[in-house]
């Protein structure tokens, strides 16, 4: 029996998270069967409220990034500091005849 188990014929690629997820789902369903309906409703409401807060936070974060990008575009370009000496050609004057 052992050689058959170790052969490639019976080794399937497995998602390492699949088994704990399946076992957790079974445990959650068994717990839900033992809870009264009011308690299940309360737990579901807590989960829904947490999801709503998470989605609102994600929307606020996205809006903040859009606002920051708009402010960055409206900001005037940085002022050029006066230079006492300059060696080399000026970039704007180099192609004039």
Query: What pLDDT was estimated at residue 83?
Result: 66
Backbone angles phi, psi at 13, to 5 degrees: -65, 135
Residue 19 to residue 10: CA distance in whole angstroms = 17
Query: What pLDDT was estimated at residue 61?
Result: 96
Query: What pLDDT was estimated at residue 80?
Result: 73
Query: What pLDDT was estimated at residue 1?
Result: 44
Low-confidence ranges of the chain (pLDDT < 50): 1-4
Q: What is the pTM of this model?
A: 0.49
State both tokens at 56: 């609102």
């Amino acid at each position: 029996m052992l050689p058959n188990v170790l052969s490639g014929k019976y080794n399937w690629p497995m998602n390492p998270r699949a088994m704990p997820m399946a076992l957790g789902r079974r445990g959650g369903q068994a717990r839900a069967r033992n809870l009264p309906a009011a308690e299940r409703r309360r737990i579901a409401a807590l989960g829904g409220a947490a999801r709503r807060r998470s989605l609102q936070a994600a929307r606020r974060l996205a809006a903040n990034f859009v606002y920051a990008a708009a402010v960055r575009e409206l900001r005037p370009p940085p002022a050029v500091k006066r230079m006492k000496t300059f060696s080399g050609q000026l970039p704007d004057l180099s192609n004039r005849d």
